[in-house]
Structure 1
């Protein structure tokens, strides 16, 4: 039976697959049929009738005939071929010849895409032609209106356009032949060619109407505003020179004459309608004129600064020289008692050298101010620089004076701290020797001696003449560390001694019952009598903790309660 069942199953599967493929191809054929019908039902002829509202001559008539022939070819030739191919591919699917059916479907799809492209091209060209006519009509009317308005403006305001009247009229006159050409092309149905005329006229119109709008303002700048500014600058220069301002470094007459020459050249360019170039150059001239005004204003501001600050800075210079000389003398006196480092010791003399050079510069500056042969801006710059240098020297002197004053304060502070350290060390030594301990370890005695030695070193350094405070500060810092350390160690030793006694007392309860515990406590007591307190503490604590874990924590709490 199995030999019959397996072939039947295989045959069933093959038939099922075949019918699945057949169904898929039939769906594809149905989709292609729908695409073909969409193209056929597109109202192309109705769309082409829109063109009949235009002048059916020239290129309009030619395009209409071409589109009609192309669409007729699609409907009468290509569509029947597609119908035939669809019938053939359906027959192939019915006969289960799927490979050939797939190739035929691809061929049909290409032909449908060809027809669809033809249809879209016709519609696009049609819409472009119809749209061109509407755009042309609207835009040409706007251009003609702007053209008429421009001519009226120039005619009514010729004085505002000056030498540009004739070239502007020629430019406007050049529009007329193009308007006529547009009308002729439109009448002959050549709307696309007419569109090119409109685009060209629009670009030219945008440029021309814009410069017609800008020319009056630009001419006003060149013929009135800039010349008025030049006259104002000349008069202002003469007036300031009459008030003893030195302005030769600005070379204003030469530069103003150069601008006047440029104005003539720019007016010539205006007659040639080189408006963009003239605008750019005019903007640059205005920037230069603004810079001239700024330069004159700067000289006025500089003179005001010089007049207000010359006397103040002269007084400052004199006072700082006197202060620096006094500081130098005081430094000589201070150095008899205190030692200054090399850099600090040279500050007064270096400042005096700088002040000598500044004083000479100030004398030259005074002559320049008196003779009035220098620009006030230059005088101001020099005066500001001198002022800044004097302020810097004054700050250095103040810092140096404070440093010298602080030397005496620092010395007194060191002496006070030294006395405090000595008292602290004495108190530490007294507490240690009065403590209830068997004796003092040699190490602790050595620490106390070292602390005492460091205090002595500080005391001796304070006896030196001249006194080196930097060295004294270093000795004091070391002494403070040593005293603090020994004080901490003494406190720790006393605490350990007390803790050892409590531990031994606590452990006595186990001695009778625990010989090992008794022996270890004897070792701890022996170390205690030999002043080896750290070892005694370790031995006693270990012995008690082994017998009773956690005992050390309870003992420490008891010690704190009875402290």
Structure 2
């Protein structure tokens, strides 16, 4: 096949493909244009032409007329502008398709789609507004009938139960009068055809009626609370206060009862004024103030009545505890003298006793002063009760303090016995340590150990001398006792250490001696250790010499020797 033939066939095939593709795209655009044209026709069919004519013929005025004109204008715009523009976009798309200008056709189709959606939304809103305008009068009339029924019910209840509304009755009747005027206004607007304004009046009526229905429920309760609770409680408080004054009750300086009662009366009057003006929100906060005042005044009077009984009871109890504390003081004075003859008091017991007596005297004077004021009616019972309770508590604490001081004094003899017993035990321990170390048959004792031994012995003798004095100085005795206790403990540790070092030296030397043939330095080490042991009594260094040598030959051997020693020691 020649090249010319191949080129010719390729061109023919390409032309066929271009034709088929162009035909397909052209067909798709025409189908889309037909579909959009159908949607446009549907919009034409949805235009409520008959209802617009009906609206145009209706006798309406005012706000309703303005809304109607706006609706008609919107319909005219849809029909005369939007739909014509859609038609124009579709015509442009059709022409562009015929000329194979598919991009331009697509743009025109998109504009038509957007305008169709916008017109659908606008037509839906406008049709709804049109329907509401046509139905407004009937809707208003239906709603006004429902409101009238509620209104007559409220009016009937207000007349039948007028006494339950107190001073608010006039304001409530005024509200009914305003609603009657609104009913008249509704009728006038409806008759003139201004149904939009009539709808606003219906909304006002419904709001006012709902507000009044709520008031009709809450006002009787509030009025009842003011008249049957607050007024009566005010009367009770005034009468109660008068009776207490006649009975010569006093009140704390911080509480002016007459001023508080006057304030309460003013607040209740203010509540009534708020109720008469229907200011229910303001009443709520004012109620809290009134109730707090009532509780405070009742509480103040009840507190004084209760305080009177408490004060009388305390007046009977206080002499008993004062008598008891006074006897404690006398007994403690004798004990101080007696104990002071045998011991130097080193914990400021005498100063503490004088301070306690000073407080007792002050509290007795306070009780006497308060009792005198109560007798002359110069003090509020609540103030007197507070002071007497404080005094009673202080006397109880003083009694406990006297007991503690007494225990402190009695402890001197117990401490003396305890220290004497400790001294006997320490002397016994010293003797036992001496026998224990002698039983080990050591060649001698190091000078350091002997110094500790004699130092301990001297302290024990000093403690014995101090305990034998006719009048003990517990500061010195306590100091020496602590020293002796430390010395005995230290001496016991050192004794155990010397014996352990000495015996371990012997056992370690025996173990080391096994290696005398193999290691020439063994004999020399043992001899040097023995010299320290026998001549200088340096058991610690002597042990160190043989231990280090043994460990250099047989690692871990010393620990074995030590373990055997400890086992035998514990067993013994």
State the TM-score, normalizing by the size of structure 1. Answer: 0.78
Once the two structures are TM-superposed, the CA of residue 200 in structure 1 deviates from its matched residue by 4.3
Q: Name the structure 1 match of 2:539.
A: 533
Measured in 2, the distance between the counterparts of 1:451 and 1:65 equals 126
Q: Conserved in 2, the CA contact under 8 Å of 1:129 and 1:191? A: no
Measured in 1, the distance between the counterparts of 2:47 and 2:526 equals 125
Q: Name the structure 2 match of 1:456.
A: 461
Q: Name the structure 1 match of 2:492.
A: 487
Q: Name the structure 2 match of 1:77.
A: 85
Q: Conserved in 1, the CA contact under 8 Å of 2:311 and 2:388? A: yes
Measured in 2, the distance between the counterparts of 1:492 and 1:92 equals 121
Give a deviation string over 1:117-154, Cα, whole Å, max 9, x none.
67557657877997997998897666544433221111
Measured in 1, the distance between the counterparts of 2:411 and 2:47 equals 107
Q: Name the structure 2 match of 1:61.
A: 68
Distance 1:114-1:338 versus aligned 2 partners, 3 A rule? farther
Distance 1:438-1:265 versus aligned 2 partners, 3 A rule? closer
**Which of 419, 423, 428 does residue 424 from structure 2 map onto?**
419
User: Is residue 2:166 matched to residue 1:158?
Assistant: no
Measured in 2, the distance between the counterparts of 1:182 and 1:442 equals 128
Q: Name the structure 1 match of 2:552.
A: 546
**Which of 379, 382, 387 does residue 374 from structure 1 map onto?**
379
Once the two structures are TM-superposed, the CA of residue 464 in structure 1 deviates from its matched residue by 5.1
Q: Conserved in 1, the CA contact under 8 Å of 2:252 and 2:382? A: no
Q: Name the structure 1 match of 2:331.
A: 326
Once the two structures are TM-superposed, the CA of residue 398 in structure 1 deviates from its matched residue by 1.3
Distance 1:509-1:227 versus aligned 2 partners, 3 A rule? closer
Q: Equivalent residues in 2 for 1:476-515 (5 A)?
A: 476-515=481-520
**Which of 378, 381, 388 does residue 383 from structure 1 map onto?**
388
Q: Conserved in 1, the CA contact under 8 Å of 2:252 and 2:383? A: no
Measured in 1, the distance between the counterparts of 2:154 and 2:294 equals 33
Measured in 1, the distance between the counterparts of 2:42 and 2:298 equals 75
Bigger mean CA offset, 533-542 vs 120-129: 120-129
State the TM-score, normalizing by the size of structure 2. Answer: 0.77
Q: Name the structure 2 match of 1:171.
A: 175
Alignment gaps of 5+ in structure 2: 1-24
Measured in 2, the distance between the counterparts of 1:213 and 1:50 equals 51
Q: Conserved in 1, the CA contact under 8 Å of 2:71 and 2:130? A: no
Where 2:555 maps in the other structure, the secondary structure is coil
User: Is residue 2:305 matched to residue 1:294?
Assistant: no
Measured in 2, the distance between the counterparts of 1:559 and 1:128 equals 116
User: Is residue 2:365 matched to residue 1:360?
Assistant: yes
User: Is residue 2:312 matched to residue 1:307?
Assistant: yes
The structure having more radius of gyration, on CA atoms, is 2
Bigger mean CA offset, 460-469 vs 396-405: 460-469
Once the two structures are TM-superposed, the CA of residue 48 in structure 1 deviates from its matched residue by 7.8
Bigger mean CA offset, 416-425 vs 60-69: 60-69
Distance 1:408-1:156 versus aligned 2 partners, 3 A rule? same
**Which of 232, 239, 245 does residue 235 from structure 1 map onto?**
239
User: Is residue 2:282 matched to residue 1:274?
Assistant: no
Alignment gaps of 5+ in structure 1: 1-25
Q: Name the structure 1 match of 2:4.
A: none
Once the two structures are TM-superposed, the CA of residue 340 in structure 1 deviates from its matched residue by 3.0
Between Structure 1 and Structure 2, how many residues are aligned?
525
Bigger mean CA offset, 450-459 vs 464-473: 464-473
Measured in 2, the distance between the counterparts of 1:426 and 1:88 equals 133
Q: Conserved in 2, the CA contact under 8 Å of 1:70 and 1:118? A: no
Q: Conserved in 2, the CA contact under 8 Å of 1:218 and 1:279? A: no
Q: Conserved in 1, the CA contact under 8 Å of 2:250 and 2:381? A: yes
Once the two structures are TM-superposed, the CA of residue 503 in structure 1 deviates from its matched residue by 1.3
